[in-house]
Amino acid sequence: MQRLVQGNEATFQGAVRAGASFYSGYPISPSSEIMAEAAKYSASHPEFRFIQTEDEIAAAMSVLGASLAGAKAFTATSGPGFSLMQESLGMGYMSEIPCVFVDVQRVGPSTGMPTLIAQGDLLQVQHGSHGDYYSIAFYPNSVAECYTLVGTAFNVAEEARQPVILLSDAHVGHLYELVDLEALATGVEVLPRALAPLGGHTRHFTGLISDDNGVPRTSDYQVYRRWLAKVKERSAAVAAKHPLYEYRPNPRSATLLISFGIISRTVLPLTEQYGYFRPIRMLPVLAEELREVAKDYRNLVVVEANDGQYASLVEQALKRDVARVPVLGGKVSPAEIADRLAEVIGQA
Amino acid sequence: MSEVRTAPRGFEGLIKRERYPHTWCPGCGIGLIFNNIIRVLSEKGLDYSNTAAISGIGCSGRMAGYMNMDSVHTPHGRALPVAEAIKLVNPDLNVIVASGDGDLASIGGNHLLHTSRRNPDITVFCVNNETYGLTGGQLAPTTPKGVRTITSLNGALHNPLSMQKIVTGNAQYFYARSTVYHLDHMRECMHAALEWPGFAFVEVISDCIELHGRRLGFKTPHEMIATYGEKYVLAPAGRTELAPNELGIMTKA
Ligand SMILES: Cc1ncc(C[n+]2csc(CCOP(=O)(O)OP(=O)(O)O)c2C)c(N)n1
């Protein structure tokens, strides 16, 4: 049955559908509804474990512990909390712990503009923790997609044995749309756990580089290189199974708009005039798919709520100039975007 | 020719001997604490089949990795939230934490406040060597006032943190203090902690001879450990708080 559902609520419900049985978190706008949903759900489903921790460091570490103990586990936060979670993400990558982190973005840096929309955490998702690792991130632009993509994130986490990021933003998180969650639920595939739960074995899960038996090998470059090559290859192979995007060609136009999250909804009316590409898998960047689509356009313009983060990734991937229409400070105005677009295309 | 028989080293099922030699310096108190944790686990029938060990970072934080059971070596200071979540997901698993004072009470201090308050049924063994051993002997929040370290050349300026006060500030608690000089007492505390149905914290005063003790003028680990025999006394019965030089177990159900 269709009913009005909020994006954040759909994210929580989709996680449960995907098999999640653990949530830990610390309140922060605009993600707090996910935590409230988790608290509400755990009150009537004791098998679903919930903990409100003292900070986002503990929330993120709890997710790692819970995953190791056998639960599909996740947390949700926004920029300031996501910054605090970088340490846990690092351990998740190094110790190969499947889990899902949801980042409902707001304007940063620092406390920034707490309730206003931004998309400025993209490069932090890619490189926010120290060292080399290979992020996988998805970004819905509708309530229904919040529901389905969080499930994809959980499955990818198990297959790739790493944290997976579900990006969202203040508007996608707070969007209400008519959806039929039961109908959506029937299409969801749920993968089993990749890891045997703690207990009954003698494994060692460490943030140090270690060999296959969990023995730290902190001064052997070969062990490190083998490990990095292994996770790089696995991460890329699993991500490649999910080349998710939406493309609306416009053969009459020489310009392709690239946009995602709530901004992609804002620019939809402009598809009369321009081609439109919406990456859903944000990371790793859809290089091949973009290259194929971009062949047909002279101008590439990324419209995003930050100062050109995805544009720089597209430039890097395609080795082509990419124009930028930044939507800054939480002010999303279709008229302003259209004007600015006309300007940058005029300059091209 | 008579058959040559090798004698077992003991606790075969509980220690990952294949990882030896371990990382600790000769004379370091962590060895005594590690061995006594292992002995107590053995006496209690705790092993890989029913127990997981969690450590943070530091010399003390290497303990979990030598235990022959599933173990987690978390980032610095984060053993408690990881341990608490594991216990929440699998209440049937015994969860023990073994780490240092810097790890548990400095960078992990906020977690100590809150995990102890939430009172999960986990047992924490804290090596208090009053310094950051692994990083070379810097000032720790547990370093007594006036004590010189490589980052407090004129002596620590501030009074040390009381882990006892943090833990016993809660409505329910188990807090014990012992030292590497008082081995029977140390084991008594560990046994009682493992039996406690809630958050149990055992602080063991220990020596870091190489990176702290020698700078303080101790020639041998024995000399340093012997001072614990002089300084620390058993708390008289009926105490509700241990004085800084007292050993004992403080509980409130
Ligand atoms: C986030 C972070 N900061 C700093 C360090 C460096 N570091 C490693 S161990 C340690 C101190 C450990 O002290 P303690 O817990 O008392 O253990 P000990 O080595 O004395 O046994 C520090 C500061 C680190 N690994 N991670």
Q: Pick B90's closest partner by Cβ from A63, A70, A73.
A: A70
Arithmetic mean of pLDDT, B153-178: 98
Q: Do B82 and A61 touch (CB under 8 A)?
A: yes
pLDDT in tens, B196-246: 999 999 999 999 999 999 999 999 999 999 999 999 999 999 899 999 999
Domain boundaries, chain B: 12-252
B120 in contact with A, Cβ within 8 Å: no
How confident is the model at residue A348, as a pLDDT? 67
The pLDDT score that the predictor gives to residue B10 is 87
Indicate the residue of A55, A61, A197 with minimum beta-carbon distance to B90: A197
Residue A347, pLDDT above cutoff 80: no
- Residue numbers in B near A71 (CB within 8 A): 89
CB-CB neighbours of B229 under 10 Å: 11
Whole-number percent of chain A with pLDDT over 90: 98
Nearest CA to ligand 1 atom 3: B76
Q: Is B84 in the pocket of ligand 1 (CB under 6 A)?
A: no
At residue B109, the pLDDT reads 98
User: Residue B178 — very low, low, confident or very high, per pLDDT cuts 50/70/90?
Assistant: very high
Q: Each residue of A44-67: b (16+ CB within 10 Å) or e? A: eeeebbbbebbbbbbbbbbbbbbb
Which is the CATH superfamily of the domain at B12-252?
Thiamin diphosphate (ThDP)-binding fold, Pyr/PP domains (3.40.50.970)
For residue A197, which residues of chain B lie inside 8 Å, CB to CB? 89-90
**In angstroms, what CA-CA distances link B250 with A157, B236, B245?**
44, 12, 14
Query: Given this model, what pLDDT does residue A213 score?
Result: 86
Write out the DSSP string of A116-177: EE--TTHHHHHH-SSS-----EE--SSHHHHHHHHHHHHHHHHHHTSEEEEEEEHHHHH-EE
Tens of pLDDT, residues A68-105: 999 999 999 999 999 999 999 999 999 999 999 999 99
Nearest to B153 by CA among B136, B141, B138: B138
Q: pLDDT grade, residue A173 (50/70/90)?
A: very high
Distances from the Cα of A24 to the Cαs of A74, A96, A117, B91, B185, in angstroms? 7, 19, 24, 17, 38
Give kind and range of the element (H or E) at residue A283. strand A281-283
Question: Is a pLDDT exceeding 90 seen at residue B1?
Answer: no
Q: Which contiguous run of DSSP H or E holds residue A290?
A: helix A287-294
* Structure confidence by residue, pLDDT tens digits, B75-131: 999 999 999 999 999 999 999 999 999 999 999 999 999 999 999 999 999 999 999
State which residue of chain A sits closest to B113, comparing Cα positions: A54
Return the higher-pLDDT residue of A291 and A213: A291
Residue B42 has pLDDT above 80, yes or no: yes
- What's the pLDDT score for residue A277? 98
Scored b (16 or more CB within 10 A) or e, B86-119 reads: bbbbbeebbbbbbbbbbbbbbbbbbbbbbbbbbb
Question: In sequence order, what DSSP letters do the residues of A89-107 get, joined into one string?
Answer: HHHHHHHT--EEEEEEEEE
- Quote the DSSP letter at residue A19: T
Task: Note whether B69 contacts A: Cβ–Cβ < 8 A.
Answer: yes
**Pick from B114, B92, B99, B91: which is nearest to B53 by CA?**
B99
pLDDT > 70? residue A188: yes
Average pLDDT over residues A52-71: 98
Other Cβ atoms less than 10 A from the Cβ of A4: the count is 10
CA A320, A323, A329, A332 dihedral sign is negative
- Inter-chain touch A66–B86, beta carbons under 8 Å: yes
Q: What is the DSSP letter of A324?
A: E
The arithmetic mean of pLDDT across residues A52-61, rounded, is: 98
At B166 the pLDDT is 98
Q: Is the CB of B140 under 6 A from ligand 1?
A: yes
Distance CA B92, CA A128 (A): 36
Considering only CA atoms, which of A309, A304, A313 is closest in space to residue A340?
Answer: A304
pLDDT value at B36 more than 70: yes
Instruction: Give me the count of residues in chain B.
Output: 253
For a pocket test of ligand 1, which of B76, B128, B143 has the largest count of ligand atoms closer than 8 A to its C-beta?
A: B76
Using a pLDDT cut of 70, give the percent of chain A over it: 100
Q: What is the mean pLDDT of chain A?
A: 97
Query: Residue with the nearest Cα to atom 2 of ligand 1?
Result: B76
Structural domains in chain A? 3-210+218-240 (3.40.50.970), 245-347 (3.40.50.920)
pLDDT at position A333 is 95
Would you call A90 and B68 a contact, using CB atoms and an 8 Å cutoff?
no
What region does B175 belong to: left with phi over 0, alpha with psi -120 to 50, or beta?
Answer: beta
Q: Which two tokens stand for residue B174?
A: 């188990």
Q: How far apart are CA B57 and CA A206, in angstroms?
A: 10
In tens, the pLDDT along B107-118 reads 999 999 999 999
CA separation for the pair A141, B93 (Å, rounded): 41
Element (H or E) spanning A75, and its range? strand A72-77
Report the 3 state secondary structure along chain B.
CCCCCCCCCCCCCCECHHHCCCCCCCCCHHHHHHHHHHHHHHHHCCCCCCEEEEECCCCHHHHHHHECCCEEECCCCCHHHHHHHHHHHCCCCEEEEEEEHHHHHHHCHHHHHHHHHHCCCCEEEEEECCCECCCCCECCCCCCCCCCECCECCCCCCCCCCHHHHHHCCCCEEEEEEECCCHHHHHHHHHHHHHCCCCEEEEEECCCHHHHHCCCCCCCHHHHHHHHHHHCEECCCCCCCCCCCEEEEEEEC
